[in-house]
Each structure stands twice: as C-alpha cells, then as structure tokens.
Structure 1
C-alpha cells in the first residue's frame, strides 16, 4: 500500500499530489492508520447495521472522534446529521428544486465558482470527463439556493458540497444525499453561517480569539501586538469548514465529529492549528510573518497526521463548554460590523 502511495500522482479522492508532498511521512502514517480503521470498520458496521438513524450516545461520540471508516462514512453522516430523516420526509423535494425555473443571477454566480472548485482534483478539473462532478455540483448548489432563498449561494459552499460529493459518489442517489447534507448543515448544524453578510462566521472569529486568550494568553497577546485581526486568521477555515485548507483525511475526520456534535468542533480544530504552532507564532515579528505562517501551518506534518490532530482536538484543548462559547458570542457581538 505504501509503495503505491509513494508512486502515485493522485490520492484516493482524486487530488493531485504536489511534488513537495512528503510521501515518506504520509506512507508511514497510512501504514499505521489503515489497520486501525479496518478494526473500527467492524465496530461501525455493528453501530449502523440496517438502521436509518443513529441515536446520539457517549459510545457514538467516542466512535466518531476515533474516526468513521470510509466505507461507512456516507451512511453514518446521513444518519448522524439527521439528513436521512429529512430526505425521507421530503422524497421529491430535490427533484422539484431542479425542475423549477432557475434564478439567472444564482446560476451565473454558481457557474463562476464551479470552475474555481478544487482545480487540483481530477473530478472537478473538467466537465468533459465521464467521471466529472461539475454537473452534480451545479445541480446541488442550484437546489440548495432555491430551497434556501434568503441565503441563495454563499462563498465556500462549492468546496463543502464538492468534498461531500467526493465522499458520497458511488452511493445510490448520491446527489440527493449531498443536497440534504448541505441543507442540514445550513439550517440545523451551522445556522446563519452560510449567509451573504457572513455575520455569524465573523462573530465566531472574535469568539475564537477569546478562546485563544483563555487557552493560550501568550499567543493571544502576541498576535494582538502584531495587529492581526482574528477574521484574517480563521475566516477561510470556517467558511469552507476546512475543505481546501487542511489535508482531506483530516477534514473528513473533523466532519465526522461535526455531523455528530455540531459547530464547536470548528473551534476545537482551529485551536489545534493555533496552539500546536505556539513557538512559531511567538517568533513572528510582524503582521506579514504571521499571515504567511498560518498559510504554511495548515499544510504541515501536524495537520497531515489526522489521528494525532483529532487526539489534540479533544485531549490537548480540554474542556470547551457551549455555555462559555455562547456567553462569548454575546460579549463579542458589538465587535462585528
């Protein structure tokens, strides 16, 4: 397995592997990771079975945090998020959204972003290939836009839906399932995140800053001295839920928990990126150095090893009660324009 990975120019999800990619590091990680996920697959098969929903429990939370095997991920996400139940209760809605007259402005905006989505991925690089996912992505985003008219289409949706497609392709009715996962994210899991004014996302950047002040006051004060706005640090992370930011295996592990536990998972992942780079951050002496560091940080070895990353999210970050996050949201409201 590791030899094949070292020689391949494309990863398992269709992304081009750059020449600077650390094949040896990744091969060592995979050789350790795959046997673990094989064992977990048997446990997940017992949890899911033929069910159409999964009851939330301490066991399920622990299993999600340890990772959902690729083969079980589509069904697990549909069940954990509640998207499966919503699709069952609205069996014709997706097709109805596709058949209605499309708003021209919405079509033009989505079409423009389709051609900017995962340019380094074989499934999105062209619409000429039989395996291209550009048309399914267009369909899903159009349907989401008409279903959620006050939102329409927002920046970042293309990357979220695109990665969902890469996970769900091969499933029966995979387009419809991605539509319902998107609709569930927008309305249930991350309400108000996908809105044209991005108010909720901007607000949570300020909250992230306050969480850094709590967990690592030295980093907080150093970044404040550099004059760095928190919106410049994590805005893209939150808009696309780390898709097109972190390595794909790490993003999928974060989403395993997001679909089960909700939005504070994004805070935990952001804190790991920041706190695990404490020494490098403290060595930065100006605004430019800090911004360059964060661009490099998300591609580092710490982010590539998804198991260690997830371990840090829960063990190293420690307690992160929603009551505190909600209190900080109220306190930070005045900072957001």
Structure 2
C-alpha cells in the first residue's frame, strides 16, 4: 500500500519508472507530446500577433471575472471567446475560473487535498490505479519515464478514491485527471476533477453506470431527431449506443479526437456543460456514418454491421481542423431543456431493475436537486416555488428557468436535497470562489455567416443550423 507521501517517495522508482534511463524527449510539440519523424506539428491556428491579442483579452477578462460571469452583456463575450479557443498560456487558469463558476459555495468541513494525499485507499483500488498509470499518454513529457506526471496522477486518483469511497476509482477518470495535470498543479487538478465528477457529469462513474446508460439512450433518441439517416442505420444494424458513446462521454472524448480538438472540446465542456458531450457525439455520428447510411437501401443491414461498428467510434477526418469541427459542434443546438425532455421520456421506459437514475443537465445545479422537473417551459414562471438550499445561491437563477414540478414528488425532492447536502460535505471552500453566484449564460445572438469548409471525407450535409459565430 502506497497511501502516504513518505511511502510514495520510497516506491517511486518501482512504481513510476526508473529515472536513470537516458531518454531523449528534446523534440516536443507545443502540447508536450514527443515529435514523430522529427516534424513538429500542431502549430497555432492563428498568427502569433492574434494569439497575443487573445491572451491580453483573456487576462483582462479573468481580472474582471465577476463582471464577465454575471452580466448578460459580458457573458456573451465570455461564451464567444471560449468557442474561439482559450490561448494555451491562459488555459489552465481559465479552466479554474470556469469550473469554479459551476460549483457555487461549498461547506467547509476541513477536508484538504493535503489531508487526502496522506490517507490510503483500498488495496484493490490502489492496485488498479497503479496499472493505469503507465497507460496514460506515454508519449507526453510529463508521463514519460523522466516526467513527474505519474506521481501526481497517482496522488490525484488515490485522493479521489479516498474522498468518494462510495464511488471509488474508475478507469475513465485517469485520462481526465491526466489532461488536468498538463495544465494545473496536483491540488488544483484534484479539485477540478471533483467539480467535473460531482457537478458536470455526476453518476458517470458510479457502480452500475446507470447515468451513462441513460445518457446513451438519450443520445440515441436525439440521433433520430438530428441525423435521421444515421439513426436508421444504427437501428437496422443493431449497433447500440453504449458501444460507441461510453468511452466518448466518460473520457470527454480525450481518447478519441486529435489533441488540438480535445482541448477545444474541453474548453466548451467547462463553459457550457454536459450538453457539449451530446453535441460532439451527434456531430461525430453524422460525420462518420452519413455516407454509410446511404448504402442501407442497396445492402443488407447485416452486411453493414462491421462497418457501422468500426466507423461509429473513429475520429472523423474533419476533426483535424479544430476550428471547423467546433463550428459544427456549436451549430448543433441541443439544449438543457431538450435533454431534460428526453430524460423524462426515457425514464418512463427505464428498467427499474438496473437501479434508480437521476439526471440533471443544468450545469450549475448540484446533483439530483431538480432531476425530476417536468419540461418544457410554459409561461416562463414556476407553478410551484422551489426552495434551493442556502449553500448554493447560483441555483436561484437556474431554478427560475424551470417550470412545473411533479406534485407527487415532494418527498423525492426532500431526499434529493439531503443527498446533495451530503455530497457537499468535506470540500475545502478555500479552493472555490465564495462569491460564485453565476447565472446561466444566455443564448449567443449572432447573424448567419457562411463557413468555408475544408476537404471532407464524407458527403454528410450540414443539417445543423449554421448560424453560429465565426471563430
């Protein structure tokens, strides 16, 4: 068992690799990955001058964060700048601000990363974490033999297992923690991981994976609305959503997309919430399977099964152009309201033997508080007053957007509130902005613009509305 700092250093050589190897990692790209064939790729997608200009704007914005995160006027600028891509030099700090916006105020029970770092997790989880350390980005300088990333990754994942023993460690968390460590300290990466797991994608790593199963059903249903031909192909070939979307959603596409695009998707995810995962998933399915779906009329569905399985999971060719890909993602207008509608539909069909499932697609609410709210909106007012718990003032604004609540579910709401209170215990409030009373961002108002498309590997039409801001 290597649960403390002292034991960590004692077993450093055997656990994280011997630093005596003379490893050449002198040629790396701007993201820290080893260069292949001596060619440095992944350059800036804008000029150096433009990048410096964007850095200046972001520094000014972070210095006036309360203004940009609360004012409707400035929220549009924040949203637009995130969609253009956060500059590399600012990205880590910006992520800290974005994830703090989603957390609200948390109860201070004295738990700190330092205390968690000194504690031990179960032997079984410790062994699994050790196995996964060497699988995370071996071509990155932080996680190579000489890098310090493996030690910090172990500390972050072990601390999570101690902090959330009822959930425990899941393999899908390792790529997310690794990405965070490339931009943040171990302590900041840990609290960011807590924010993501508890507030952005709660339930994704729970035993039984009921939340990810539900979101798979919702993605499948949305495919019928946004990409009907692709939906028919998947139905005919009997390719289930859990096959291709589990790794996508649990790892936030980190294992699937090109790295430049991964960073841009992660920027969007922290800014706009879980709906980004559905938008990216729909975009990938459309790009990967539209051409194949046209063969369904001339071919037997069984003959297309293997191709559908293979094509569905791959990274689309257009994802190499991160600007174009992000435009396509943003043009897919899946909203929290639409996700909540689909959840209510799927919940009626849900097999209760799989366990209870609660979903909440409004990013700034704690898990479960408004998971059973009926949609869609009526006159924009609540037919019943919701009493948000006092610790999260950010929910007051979000609650005003919701409409009717099941009259018969008062007891469930009370139970959900108590569960949320329990989840908040033990988090060090010093890691968060105590004044974070952030409102949901309004829709971005832009005019229609034509987008020059790069060469594409598919003939998929642009079915999503292309009225998004040019990046």
Does 1:58 pair with 2:76? Answer: yes
Matches within 5 A, 1:88-107: 93-107=112-126
Does 1:325 pair with 2:339? Answer: yes
Match of 1:14 among 32, 35, 39: 32
Does 1:224 pair with 2:235? Answer: yes
Structure 1 SS opposite 2:52: helix
Q: Tell me the CA shift for residue 279 of structure 1.
A: 3.5
Unaligned residue ranges in structure 2 (runs of 5+): 1-25, 297-302, 355-471
Distance across 1 between alignment mates of 2:178 and 2:67: 24
What is the Cα-based RMSD across aligned positions, in Å? 2.8
TM-score normalised by the chain length of structure 1: 0.83
Aligned partners of 2:201 and 2:274 also within 8 Å: yes
Distance across 2 between alignment mates of 1:115 and 1:31: 31
Partner of 1:243: 254
Unaligned residue ranges in structure 1 (runs of 5+): 1-7, 169-173
Distance across 2 between alignment mates of 1:123 and 1:88: 34
Distance across 2 between alignment mates of 1:82 and 1:198: 26
Partner of 1:204: 215
Partner of 1:40: 54
Q: Tell me the CA shift for residue 277 of structure 1.
A: 3.2
Q: Tell me the CA shift for residue 196 of structure 1.
A: 2.7
Structure 2 SS opposite 1:72: helix
| Runs of 4+ more than 6 Å apart | 83-88
Q: Tell me the CA shift for residue 102 of structure 1.
A: 3.1
What whole-Å deviation, never above 9, does each CA across 1:75-128 have from its counterpart, x for those lacking one?
1111111189879967861000011233222211111111222233332233xx
Structure with bigger helix share is 1
Aligned partners of 2:289 and 2:312 also within 8 Å: no
Cα gap change, 1:197/1:30 in structure 2, threshold over 3 Å: closer, same or farther? same
Aligned partners of 2:157 and 2:169 also within 8 Å: yes
The 10-residue stretch of structure 1 (35-44 or 323-332) with the greater mean CA deviation from structure 2: 35-44
Aligned partners of 1:226 and 1:287 also within 8 Å: yes
Partner of 1:155: 171
The 10-residue stretch of structure 1 (79-88 or 207-216) with the greater mean CA deviation from structure 2: 79-88
Distance across 2 between alignment mates of 1:124 and 1:32: 28
Larger radius of gyration, structure 1 or 2?
Answer: 2
Q: Highest relative contact order (Cα 8 Å, sep 6+), 1 or 2? A: 2
